[in-house]
Each structure stands twice: as C-alpha cells, then as structure tokens.
Amino acid sequence: MSYAYQLKSLEAYTAAYKKSIEDPEGFWAAIASNFYWRKTWDKVLDWNFNDYEVKWFSGAKLNITENCIDRHLATQANKPALIWEPNDPEEHHRVLTYKDLHFKVVQFANVLKNNGVKKGDRVCIYMGMVPELAIAVLACARIGAIHSVVFGGFSAQSIADRLIDANAAFIVTSDGAYRGNKEIPLKSVIDDALIGCPFVKKVIVLTRTRIPVSMIKGRDLWWEDEIKKVETMGNPDCPAEEMDAEDPLFILYTSGSTGKPKGVVHTCGGYMVYTNYTFVNVFQYQPGWVHFCTADIGWITGHSYIVYGPLSAGATTLLFEGVPTWPDAGRFWEVVDKYKVDILYTAPTAIRSLMGFGEGPLHGKKLDSLKVLGTVGEPINEEAWHWYNENVGKGRCPIVDTWWQTETGGCLISNMAGVTPSKPTYATLPMPGVQMLLVDENGKEIEGNNVSGNLCIKFPWPSILRTTYGDHERCKTNYFSTYPGLYFTGDGALRDENGFYRITGRVDDVLNVSGHRIGTAEVENAINMHAGVVESAVVGYPHDIKGQGIYAYVIYQGTHGDESLTRKDILQTVTRIIGPIAKPDKIQFVAGLPKTRSGKIMRRILRKIAEGETTNLGDTSTLLDPSVVEEIMNGKL
C-alpha cells in the first residue's frame, strides 16, 4: 500500500482532500489502482443528482471476494482472517485463517450453486453472529448473488415484508441464536415468515443451538448435509463470478419516514474501494492489528467494518456473538485482553450502558493492546466520550467519531486516528472526496463557520447508494428531491469555527434508538394493528442510555381493563409486527391528538411534551382543538 493511500499527517489529509475536490476522477482512479480488477474501468465517474444516476468505475470487472480473500493467499494464507468469540465464554473460540476462510467460502458458494442460486438472485440471510454468517455473505458475493441480511432481532412479519420486496427465493438461517442469556428460535421465526411467501424455494439451516425445528421436505435443508454433498463432489474450487463494478452486491433494508423500510442497494466496485479506503484511513490500520467492531453484521456497520473493509485490507476481524453485559459488564474488556485487540469500534449506547456499571468491571483488565477507539451510530455525549477516553483508552488512544449512514456505505465524516484533530462530540472533517454543505429550509447554502443547518452533500462518493430496490422513484424522492441537486442526509448539523461538523440528530421522522434507525410511521402502523387502538402518534425523547426513547400517544377504545395490561398487549403487537427493538418505552393513553384543521398531527407539539417541555410549545394557534394539548400535558408519563 502506497504512502498516498494511507494519509499520515494533517498536511497529507489536507492535500488529499484538495486533490479529491479539484480532480475527483484522478483522485479515485489512483485509490482504485490498489485493488485487483479483472479489467479496469473505461470511465471513473458518471453522475447526475437531478435525475438520480451514479456510476463509478464503469466497465470495470471484479469480484469483491478475490479482493477480500484470494489476493491475500499468496502473502498471508496462515494469518487469522476471522476470530470468533462465542456468546458463552466457556465455549471454544474459533480462528479462521485466510486459507480457511477461502476454503469455507468456496465450499458454501458451491452449496448455493447446487441449490440453484444464480448470479443476481436475492438471498436472505437471517442468522446470529457466527462465522457462517460472514461465510454466507461472502459466498453470495463469490457467485454474484445479492445478499440481503436481516438482523436477527426482526420479526417474522418484517422478514416476510423484506422477502417479498426483494423477491428472494433463498434463505440462509440457523436453528437458533444465542444472545446473552437468551436463545432466539430463528428457524421458527422464518417458518412463520414463510407462511405468506410461497415463492421461497430453499432454506438452508445451520445447526447452532440444537433447539428443535421443523424441516419442510424439499424446501428446508441442513447446512451440514449440503456441505457433505459438495465434499463428495470432489472439486473444492468455485471460481469467482466476474462482476461489473456496477452490479449490485447487496440490499440492506433501513427505515425511513414512511411506514415501509427501503432496500438500500450497494454495488461491487465503488463500495469495495470506499469501505477499504475509509477502514485504512479512519482507523489508521496497521498490518497485524486485530479489529473488533461490536456491531451486528445485520446492520451496515457490520457489512462495511466487520466484513468487507477489514478483509479487503487483509486485517484480522473479530466477530463477537454475545452482548456487552453478559455474563457481566466486563465482557468487552475481557475480549479485548483475550485477543489483544488493537481497534475497538462500538456505539455510544453501549458505552453509556457500560458506564452505568461503574469502573468495577474494568478492574484487572489491561486493555494495553488498544491503539484506536471508535464510535458510530448516534451522537456521542461529552460524558460518554470522556469515560471512553479515560477508562478504556487510558488517555492514550485517539477516538474516532464516525458519522455515516446505511445509504453512504462507509464513513463520510470522521477524524482520522491520531492524524487529524479530534474534538469530543464532533465527527469533525469530511473524508477526501466528500463535499458536505449545510442548507437552510429553502435549500440555500449556509456558508461560513459557527453555523447550523441541514446536512447535504453535493457530489457523489464511490459508495453512495445506487437505488432503493425495485423503486428508483422512491430513491429520488427520498434523497434528492428535498433540495434539488443535493443528497439530503436527513440530519441536522453545526459547523464550528474550525469547520468541524457536529451532528445534532435527525430532522425527519426517523428515530435513532440505541443506534438503530426506526421510522415513527412504522411504529405507529404496528401500534395501530392492535384491535383496540384507534390512532397513535410516535415521537422520540431524550433517553439516558438509548440516546432516544420511543414515546407513543395512543387513542384506545378497546375494552379498557387494566391499563398496564393494555400496554403489554400493545408492546406484544409491536414485537410481532417489527421486533423488540421498536417497542415504545412509554405509552400514554390520550383522548385526542393535536391536529391542524387539515387533519395533520402536530408532532412538534407532541415531541416537546415528550421532552418534558411544559411552557414553550410554540405556535398552537392552528390547532383544531387546543384543549387536547392541555389534557395530554396533564397525563404525561
């Protein structure tokens, strides 16, 4: 890797940034030359933000798994590619070298092929954090199938919605998954999802927990049996499918301001280049380092910084099956010491939850292998930043605060560890190639420093989403129509006197609960499914650990028994329709909701009440019936 690839000083960053703005195509062509392409591109970039279309590295041919695995075999076949720490610390951990990973990926790629999976087919993966999850993802990429990983906490209904939207005929899952002291019956959830999905042809089931499962003849197959079949076939190879740079690599569903999650589509070439470049630069990765990203592969953070970024850089990536607080709140620190972790990348919500246990769980932990700390997913508060810095980093590890989104594929704003300055609660400066701006309500650019506004981007970067699966119009309206000619992030931000960005949070109807994105409309739809519910309105409110909590105002007309039982019923409904992550923290029963004369719910007012505001609710003169506001305030939880 050349010096220019990894920026080693503020001056180098500044020069790279300047070059990336003045000559984006030249800049990214030089970066992209560090990868293995079967054929290089005819054109670096074609783009249009008005009638949205973006193409990076047109005409180039590659397979991302050759970059993540094969190309490392010559120099580091026996180096650990993936370390797996099981949920139960008593269970044996696993290490897969690059050679092992190659073997397993090729083997499972052949299993997929044997079962009829072809290039372009969508494969839904619903598993816990086991090595086979990463193997399944890479096996799809190997044969050009499009993976759609669904986080193991989503309900049967959510899976069915995603299967239908992607028209996915293949599923990879496991009997169950372990998470802390819980056992999640994944296969049984899949069975419920499949009641309404007759188009699903094959379900491959890995054995993990040995919870009893029902296997449907002709449709359901054991992972282990399928592996045996390809073993007896003899030839253990599976040549990588030649992909166009712009062929889809994966779909990942994420919430927006409407009730229906969108399938964000990323493509092979640009995504590979950008996740690798940001992995190497943001964390200042050094050969030999162990990288521990605590996210789940079911989210974009896991895709980009557990699987593709680290492996394409030839790093050792650590996959942890469990949760930070089980068997006790020292688990992360134990894992760090056990594997001599160099980079720890986690979420503010995890830090805040661990802070709550005090310093006890840190006693006896060395943490002296740590070089770089990172956070992602939500704004980090000052207190959590300092706790992380002092107790975990012992004041000697730079903290990178990385701002990005499912749609951006990789980090867009972040300091680079030890290279560019950091400032608590600030994501700081954009990556090379990323042209941020702040705009006002009317889309007019707000120039200068010490200003705040809505965060937009005016030029494409290689891993920008290409479309929302099956509905390109939706992609255009969602991201490119609020401010014509600009990509709108949905976030508000301020820019300080140094030009550093601080993200203040979503300005749309999207919540960020424990770093998970949840649309208020989605939660409302789920609550409204409950037989006794007439109407509901959901807003976020500040929550000490989760960042944002979910506050639901509900008009209920069922047989009113015990209010607390009704609340439990509603929570049960939300769990069924979406999953436990979307359960409201507070449910207030109300007689009416504040509406304008045209019938629009005034969420601004509900948000203020949920935040605890008692006097300044802003303009309420357009309300149809101002008396409901007082009633809601009186009943506040």
Span of 27-35, 54-62, 95-103, 487-495 interacting with ligand WT7 by CB under 6 A: 487-495
Structure-derived torsion over alpha carbons of residues 630, 633, 635, 637, reported in degrees to the nearest 10: 170
Q: H or E element: which one contains 94? A: strand 94-97
Task: Answer positive or negative: Cα dihedral of 419, 420, 421, 427.
Answer: negative
Does position 379 bind ligand WT7 by CB under 6 A? yes
Whichever of 427 and 590 has its CB closer to ligand WT7, that residue is 427
Residues 316 and 173: beta-carbon distance below 8 Å: no
The values of phi and psi at residue 436, to 5°, are -85, 155
Whichever of 246 and 401 has its CB closer to ligand WT7, that residue is 401
Does position 254 bind ligand WT7 by CB under 6 A? yes
Span of 97-105, 180-188, 505-513, 557-565 interacting with ligand WT7 by CB under 6 A: 505-513
Closest CA to 292 of 315, 325, 326: 315
Whichever of 110 and 317 has its CB closer to ligand WT7, that residue is 317
Q: At closest approach, how far in Å is the CB of 503 from ligand WT7? A: 4
The values of phi and psi at residue 361, to 5°, are -60, -15
User: How far apart are the C-alpha atoms of 446 and 483, rounded to whole Å?
Assistant: 13
Q: At closest approach, how far in Å is the CB of 301 from ligand WT7? A: 5
Q: At closest approach, how far in Å is the CB of 624 from ligand WT7? A: 32
Show contacts with ligand WT7 in window 272-301 (CB under 6 A).
300-301
Q: At closest approach, how far in Å is the CB of 413 from ligand WT7? A: 8
Q: Mark out the alpha helices in 223-267 (DSSP H runs).
A: 223-232
User: How far apart are the C-alpha atoms of 637 and 633, rounded to whole Å?
Assistant: 9
Q: At closest approach, how far in Å is the CB of 343 from ligand WT7? A: 16
Whichever of 107 and 278 has its CB closer to ligand WT7, that residue is 278
Pick from 312, 316, 512, 573 the residue near ligand WT7 by CB under 6 A.
512
Whichever of 127 and 511 has its CB closer to ligand WT7, that residue is 511
Whichever of 207 and 257 has its CB closer to ligand WT7, that residue is 257
- In 262-391, DSSP assigns E strands to 262-267, 290-293, 316-320, 343-346, 372-376
Cα 605 to the center of its chain, rounded Å: 30
Show contacts with ligand WT7 in window 2-31 (CB under 6 A).
none
Q: At closest approach, how far in Å is the CB of 504 from ligand WT7? A: 8
Q: At closest approach, how far in Å is the CB of 254 from ligand WT7? A: 5
User: How far apart are the C-alpha atoms of 49 and 177, rounded to whole Å?
Assistant: 42
Does position 402 bind ligand WT7 by CB under 6 A? yes
Pick from 121, 132, 191, 491 the residue near ligand WT7 by CB under 6 A.
491
Span of 235-243, 324-332, 370-378, 527-535 interacting with ligand WT7 by CB under 6 A: 370-378
Whichever of 346 and 489 has its CB closer to ligand WT7, that residue is 489
Residues 301 and 68: beta-carbon distance below 8 Å: no
Size of the site for ligand WT7 (CB under 6 A): 22
Site string for ligand WT7, 40-59 (x = CB under 6 A): --------------------
User: How far apart are the C-alpha atoms of 110 and 102, rounded to whole Å?
Assistant: 12
Per-residue exposure over 322-351, b if at least 16 CB sit within 10 Å of its own CB, e if not: bbbbbeebbbbbbbbbebebbbbbbbbbbb
State the CB neighbour count (10 A cutoff) for residue 203: 21
Task: Report the interhelical angle of 98-114 vs 131-143 (nearest 10°).
Answer: 60
The 3-state DSSP class for residue 492 equals: strand
Whichever of 477 and 557 has its CB closer to ligand WT7, that residue is 477
Percent helix, strand and coil across the chain, each rounded to 5? 35, 25, 40
Site string for ligand WT7, 406-425 (x = CB under 6 A): x-------------------
Closest CA to 200 of 223, 224, 184, 216: 216
Show contacts with ligand WT7 in window 300-319 (CB under 6 A).
300-301
Closest CA to 222 of 149, 75, 115, 137: 115
Does position 506 bind ligand WT7 by CB under 6 A? yes
Whichever of 253 and 556 has its CB closer to ligand WT7, that residue is 253
Pick from 208, 517, 546, 567 the residue near ligand WT7 by CB under 6 A.
517
Pick from 284, 391, 405, 468 the residue near ligand WT7 by CB under 6 A.
405
Span of 172-180, 395-403, 522-530, 559-567 interacting with ligand WT7 by CB under 6 A: 395-403
Pick from 134, 355, 427, 475 the residue near ligand WT7 by CB under 6 A.
427
At 47, which amino acid appears?
Answer: W
Structure-derived torsion over alpha carbons of residues 160, 162, 166, 168, reported in degrees to the nearest 10: -50
Does position 378 bind ligand WT7 by CB under 6 A? yes
**Residues of the shown chain interacting with ligand WT7 in the complex, contacts defined by CB under 6 A:** 254, 300-301, 376-379, 401-406, 427, 489-491, 503, 505-506, 512, 517
